[in-house]
Chain A
Amino acid sequence: MNSILEIANLGVTFSTESGDVPAVRGVSLRVEPGETLALVGESGSGKSTVALAALGLLPGNARASGGVSVGGTDVVGAGEAELSRLRGRTASMVFQEPATALDPLTRIGKQIAEVVRNHQDVSRQEAAAEAVALLRRVGIPEPERRASAFPFQLSGGQRQRVVIAMAIANSPGLLVADEPTTALDVTVQAEILDLLRALAADSGTGVLLVTHNMGVVADFADRVAVMLEGEIVETGAVEDVLLRPTHEYTRRLLAAVPRLAVTGSGSGSAVSGEAEGAPVVELRDVSVQFGRGPRAVRALEGVSLTVRAGETVGLVGESGSGKSTAARVALGLVAPESGGVSLFGANLRRTRGRARRALLAGVGVVLQDPVASLDARMSVAECVAEPLRVHRRGMGAVERRERVAEVLELVRLPRELARRGPRELSGGQRQRVSLARALVLEPRLLVADEPTSALDVSVQRTVLEVITELQAELGFACLFVSHDLAVVQRFAGRVVVMRGGRVEEQGPTMSTLLHPETEYTRRLIAAVPVPDPVLQRERRERRLALGTGAGA
């Protein structure tokens, strides 16, 4: 049997303003028909570059060496015409972001038909009929009607299904999927992975799956190649690599992946759920509406939640569930339409001026985006010192500099970093600077909105460890917003599950996540892929048996 993709000793170098940067060195791999090879690694490891090189899609400033052969055609030396014949027919690609992979102004049926007609000599009607058949195959309900829909009329998961329909339109032998489910919610991710798995099995397509998510690897891949700094450090069957890793780096990577405990009483760091402390922040029956009139959107409806002194409450839910809005209400950034918000026992909606400022001095905030969280025009010291300038106006420059250095060391950053600009720091360092800024006033409440979602797992682990340690030391309460159930399970004592602007369920983390009371939470947990291929296969079968993975 011939490999559908064969990469031998691939090297890719980017020429940039500051000289040549090697991105990939000596990478060799092969994908057999019907097999899925997962290429895993952290950001900057070169995994996406390999995927692009496989289809000859490298940007203009890249130089490739070595051999890439797709279905017997050499890609590295091929001209543009030859590549065009290859792409979409012999091999095709599914990108991460379905919103930008589709033309927003063309009906989806037409977009799929166009791909069909690019490579097959068929009439317009035949292509349109084929498009409908493809939509049915990727599980879009009412495909005849949906074919005339525009991309914006579909949900994110449905859009990704359309992208996949376009990718499989000409029954390619090779499918390159670059983080195909990273932009999607877990329940949707599970459905898309089911779909890709079924398609690959049906038509004997080889899949090169690029991902950072070990759970996705365990769920989908047959073999795994682990990349580090442009090189493959370990290759093998998925069971071997994920359960018995041989390379030091793979071991480290796997150890850093937060695992969702799915059985037993659970041992994690999370303590018992019942905290007795006084409420630090309390939302009572809060409703929030954005906009007015018929186009108004209800973001929250009757949400009540409490965070007590010293405890960590995890706020989980899928996108659009209202979890970030709830956190913003707790901070007073969003005014509720009805309901009460009390912060440290005072009514946040009634308190104004000096009293409000004093109240907010007890709050620290860390937001998701490590780039947007820090003002790039300020030095690290100025970023961290900002809360001091707001709340401790009498503080002298020397004292302030000393305090900044102290907090930087608290979050395990060297004090020399104070003089640098945020641009010079890595994502993990930036999030720790954000954390230092949040803690500089010794707050009683830390609100963290997806603080580690944009980070690699190993970096995520360090940041979470720092937060946990400091919480034990300083005793602040924490409202932790996340979409990642595994992280929340490890980190929070109590959990609040949100869905469509309402609280679906809440309780002590371990009991809620192990024995959920509502159908939705059960489904949410069942959809999380765990980085253990054997266990994941069982979970998948159980999930499919429940019939919860079907439908769009």
Chain B
Amino acid sequence: MSVQSASRWGLVAQFPAPLIARFARNKLAVAGITVVVLFFLFCFVGPLLYSTDQIHTDLTQVNLRPSGAHWLGTDAVGHDELGRLMYGGKVSLLVGLAAGVLATVIGTLWGSIAGYAGGWVDAVMMRVVDAGIAIPALFILLVVSAITTPGVPGLIVILGVVSWLVPSRLVRAETLTLKSRDYVLTLRAIGGSHSRAITRHILPNSVSTIVVAATFQVADAILLVAYVSYLGLGVQPPSTDWGGMLSAGLTAAYSGRWWLIVPPGLAIILVVCAFNAIGDGLRDAFDVRGRG
């Protein structure tokens, strides 16, 4: 039953064995997947093996160099840096992933409706997108963060809302070509509904576009979280994320405490590059098969 319903939604047909094989042949993409999986294990399983206190400050243990007791040393308020990397990574990955997915969902809905409706509806909806793209996302983020102090859910919503514009354009373009396909015309000619045309034909056939867009969105969102937190407007202490850690460690970097700045910086770079590599790999794997 589950297999049947999955295939009804195009999921089984969507990822056939040859696609996975082609993806697996792309070494960079496989490396990307590996890095992402390792980071998730590190952030979500790591704390179970390497338990640290990330809530209370310990002023007896501040600014310690990396050692056997604290593998990556401690920060200015006595938090274990390795433990903090896991703790902050949870927020970065969770917010990045959720915001990327949210942006893709909003963009997909907006773009598919605009593309399918066409005419003045399309014109109005896409001018809204144009206007949105004209305003830098970072600017909007700063304004919003200045007004309110967002928690994790708030941050996800804000990031999602400012970054759905690009996916909506991609999906609209895809919808425009798909809606004039013969199988959609045939469905319309026998009285099939618009919603059926969108949900059963147009969306499943744009899945490749959507999945690739989503991967890049996640990478962008992780970077955006880092920006916002770096500027001190992200999640508030004692919670933190990699961008916040960078920000906190910035002054320390001049006094030679590299362990406060190199690990979170590397973590951001690695994860963002990994997601981009996965996106590239997916796009190539989908492309070889062609459209049709």
Residues of A within 8 A of B (CB): 331-333, 356-361, 363-365, 367-369, 371-379, 382-383, 386-387, 389-391, 421, 434, 437-438, 441, 447
Choose from B13, B188, B190 the contact partner of A377 (Cβ within 8 Å): B13
Choose from A379, A382, A386, A421 the contact partner of B187 (Cβ within 8 Å): A386
Please report the C-alpha to C-alpha distance between residue A331 and residue B204 in the assembled complex, in whole angstroms. 26
B189 near A376 with CB under 8 A, answer no
Which A residues touch B10, using CB under 8 A?
Answer: 377-378
Choose from A333, A377, A383, A438 the contact partner of B185 (Cβ within 8 Å): A333
Identify which of B59-67, B83-91, B191-199, B217-225 touches chain A.
B191-199
Which A residues touch B192, using CB under 8 A?
Answer: 386-387, 390
Which B residues touch A367, using CB under 8 A?
Answer: 182, 185-186
A365 near B189 with CB under 8 A, answer yes
Which A residues touch B183, using CB under 8 A?
Answer: 372-375, 383
| Residue of A whose beta carbon sits closest to that of B181 | A372
Chain A proximity of B17: nearest CB distance (Å): 13
Which A residues touch B8, using CB under 8 A?
Answer: 382
Chain B proximity of A351: nearest CB distance (Å): 11
Choose from B182, B189, B201, B204 the contact partner of A332 (Cβ within 8 Å): B189
Choose from A375, A390, A391 the contact partner of B201 (Cβ within 8 Å): A375
**Contacts beyond the supplied A377-B13, A387-B192: 12 A-B pairs with Cβ under 8 Å:** A333-B185, A333-B188, A363-B189, A367-B182, A372-B182, A375-B200, A375-B204, A378-B10, A386-B200, A390-B191, A390-B196, A441-B190
B190 near A363 with CB under 8 A, answer yes
Which B residues touch A438, using CB under 8 A?
Answer: 186
A333 near B189 with CB under 8 A, answer yes
Which B residues touch A437, using CB under 8 A?
Answer: 186
A373 near B182 with CB under 8 A, answer yes
Chain B binding surface SS class:
helix
Chain B 280-292 against A: per-residue CB contact (8 Å), 1 yes, 0 no?
A: 0000000000001
Please report the C-alpha to C-alpha distance between residue A363 and residue B189 in the assembled complex, in whole angstroms. 8
B187 near A390 with CB under 8 A, answer yes
Q: Does B7 contact A (CB under 8 A)?
A: yes
Chain B proximity of A344: nearest CB distance (Å): 13
Which among B181, B190, B196 has the highest number of chain A CB atoms within 10 Å?
B190
Choose from B189, B191, B200, B201 the contact partner of A447 (Cβ within 8 Å): B189
B191 near A356 with CB under 8 A, answer yes
Please report the C-alpha to C-alpha distance between residue A434 and residue B10 in the assembled complex, in whole angstroms. 20
Which B residues touch A421, using CB under 8 A?
Answer: 13
Top 5 nearest A-B pairs (CB, nearest first) are A360-B191, A357-B191, A372-B182, A331-B189, A367-B182
Please report the C-alpha to C-alpha distance between residue A359 and residue B189 in the assembled complex, in whole angstroms. 11
Please report the C-alpha to C-alpha distance between residue A379 and residue B186 in the assembled complex, in whole angstroms. 17
B189 near A377 with CB under 8 A, answer no
Choose from A377, A383, A390, A391 the contact partner of B204 (Cβ within 8 Å): A377
Q: Does B205 contact A (CB under 8 A)?
A: yes
With known contacts A367-B182, A390-B193, A390-B196, A378–B187 Cβ distance under 8 A: no
Chain B 72-106 against A: per-residue CB contact (8 Å), 1 yes, 0 no?
A: 00000000000000000000000000000000000
| Residue of A whose beta carbon sits closest to that of B184 | A375
B201 near A387 with CB under 8 A, answer no
Which B residues touch A376, using CB under 8 A?
Answer: 13, 205, 292
Which B residues touch A441, using CB under 8 A?
Answer: 190
| Residue of B whose beta carbon sits closest to that of A363 | B190
Which among B183, B186, B205 has the highest number of chain A CB atoms within 10 Å?
B186
Q: Does B14 contact A (CB under 8 A)?
A: yes
B190 near A371 with CB under 8 A, answer no
Which A residues touch B190, using CB under 8 A?
Answer: 360-361, 363-365, 387, 390-391, 441
| Residue of B whose beta carbon sits closest to that of A423 | B292
| Residue of B whose beta carbon sits closest to that of A332 | B189
B7 near A379 with CB under 8 A, answer yes
17 contacts across the A-B interface (CB closer than 8 A): A332-B189, A356-B191, A365-B186, A365-B189, A371-B292, A372-B292, A373-B186, A374-B183, A375-B183, A377-B13, A378-B10, A386-B192, A387-B190, A390-B190, A390-B191, A390-B192, A438-B186
Chain A proximity of B3: nearest CB distance (Å): 12
| Residue of B whose beta carbon sits closest to that of A374 | B183
Please report the C-alpha to C-alpha distance between residue A378 and residue B292 in the assembled complex, in whole angstroms. 12
Name the interface residues of B1-33: CB closer than 8 Å to any CB of A: 7-8, 10, 13-14
With known contacts A369-B182, A379-B7, A391–B292 Cβ distance under 8 A: no
Chain B proximity of A536: nearest CB distance (Å): 35
Which B residues touch A387, using CB under 8 A?
Answer: 190, 192
Please report the C-alpha to C-alpha distance between residue A357 and residue B182 in the assembled complex, in whole angstroms. 19
Chain A proximity of B1: nearest CB distance (Å): 11
Chain B 226-243 against A: per-residue CB contact (8 Å), 1 yes, 0 no?
A: 000000000000000000
Chain B proximity of A85: nearest CB distance (Å): 36
Please report the C-alpha to C-alpha distance between residue A281 and residue B269 in the assembled complex, in whole angstroms. 65
Please report the C-alpha to C-alpha distance between residue A356 and residue B283 in the assembled complex, in whole angstroms. 41
